[in-house]
Amino acid sequence: MPVLDDMSASQAQAKKREKRKLTLDITAYLSPIIIIVVVFVFAPLAIILFFSFLKSGPYGQIIYTFTFENIAAILGGGYGKVFLKSVYLAIQTNFLCILLGYPIAYYIARFGGKRKVLWIFLIIVPSWSSYLIRLYALKTLVGTKGTINTLLINIGVISEPIQILYTNFAVTMALVFAWLPFMILPIYAALDGLDRSVLEAATDLGATPFRRFFRVTLPLTRGGLLAGSILVFIPTVGEWLVPHIFGGSKIMMAGSLVAHKFTAVGNIPQGSSLAIMLAATLVLILYLTIKWGGREALEKAL
């Protein structure tokens, strides 16, 4: 039996050749995406990171003096509270989406029968219709002169319109309305993929339907819940349109601050620092997700 010595010369050569081929392949296949990532993701982030340490002049011009003011304003002041509120609203939305989404997902998976495709269709269509128009439609429904208020006044239940817009309730409702489909679908996929015999085994082993749900079904659909939570939580943290339309100037979220600084005030250094903080928040969330749920879960969710 020949003993394998250290790599012989020809073997080393073969490895070298393979390495060269790999470099060539990486260049051929991955250079477009690498350019996108480096030039249009990392470079812009680096620019706003740089700008967030600069000052802004009275007319929106950038003054090239190094300062920590912008960052300090977020970490210490009222902006920090807005960030916390964004995370709080996102968690609340996520929780409500699970609460509303699980029953319907469960119903479709277990009792949907032949109409499964129809149900799923009815859930997907709103989620892929224009985001802006859906929010507008919801506003039409709940606004001060909206359908609900008009209806209630006409039948005499109330005399003054209820103020729904520009409240925490309105923002939360709109967030749930916008993102609920993205919670239902992964949960449904997980439930639908569940092996029926596992449930039968649980019943056979003496679990009541109630106990069975908590001891078998729920743990087995954890993947779907995680995926749904990623899909709902991540976009809601940085939401701008919902607080803009349903919160007005009363309920601000981190996304509205960034947009406000850039589009209304024109204070680029401050806007940059807020955007960087928001990005950092998301990277932290992303990091925790990968650490707990694994990269696979994240990619699958998307």
Question: Which of 152, 153, 220, 290 is in the footprint of another protein by CB under 8 A?
Answer: 290
CA dist 115 → 42, 86, 100, 105, 109 (Å) = 46, 38, 20, 13, 10
Nearest-10 Cα torsion for 260, 262, 265, 270: 100
Q: Report if residue 229 touches another protein, rule: CB under 8 A.
A: no
Residues 157-186 that bind another protein (CB under 8 A): 177, 180-181, 184
Q: Report if residue 32 touches another protein, rule: CB under 8 A.
A: yes
Question: Which of 158, 263, 284, 288 is in the footprint of another protein by CB under 8 A?
Answer: 263
Q: Report if residue 241 touches another protein, rule: CB under 8 A.
A: yes
Cα 225 to its chain centre, rounded Å, is 13
Cα 86 to its chain centre, rounded Å, is 12
Question: Which tokens belong to 46?
Answer: 């680096």
Q: Report if residue 78 touches another protein, rule: CB under 8 A.
A: no
> Closest Cα partner for 168 from 239, 248, 257?
248
- Collapse the DSSP code of 56 into the 3-class scheme (helix H, G, I; strand E, B; otherwise coil) and give the result: strand
Q: Report if residue 286 touches another protein, rule: CB under 8 A.
A: yes
Instruction: Report, in Å, the least distance between residue 13 CB and another protein.
Output: 9
d(C-alpha 19, C-alpha 222), whole Å: 41
Enclosing H/E stretch for 292: helix 268-301
d(C-alpha 259, C-alpha 234), whole Å: 18
The smaller minimum CB distance to another protein, of residues 143 and 224, is found at 143
d(C-alpha 14, C-alpha 10), whole Å: 6
Enclosing H/E stretch for 51: helix 43-51
Q: Report if residue 278 touches another protein, rule: CB under 8 A.
A: yes
The smaller minimum CB distance to another protein, of residues 100 and 220, is found at 100
Question: Which of 75, 84, 124, 284 is in the footprint of another protein by CB under 8 A?
Answer: 124
Instruction: Report, in Å, the least distance between residue 161 CB and another protein.
Output: 13
First to last CA, the chain: 52
Pattern 84-123, binding to another protein, x per CB under 8 A?
A: ----------------xx-xx-xxx-xx-----x-x-xxx
Question: Which of 268, 270, 293, 297 is in the footprint of another protein by CB under 8 A?
Answer: 268
Question: Which of 61, 65, 140, 249 is in the footprint of another protein by CB under 8 A?
Answer: 140
Instruction: Report, in Å, the least distance between residue 51 CB and another protein.
Output: 6
C-beta of residue 77 within 8 angstroms of C-beta of residue 277: no
Place of tokens 């239940």: 157
Question: Which of 239, 242, 247, 267 is in the footprint of another protein by CB under 8 A?
Answer: 239
Instruction: Report, in Å, the least distance between residue 152 CB and another protein.
Output: 13
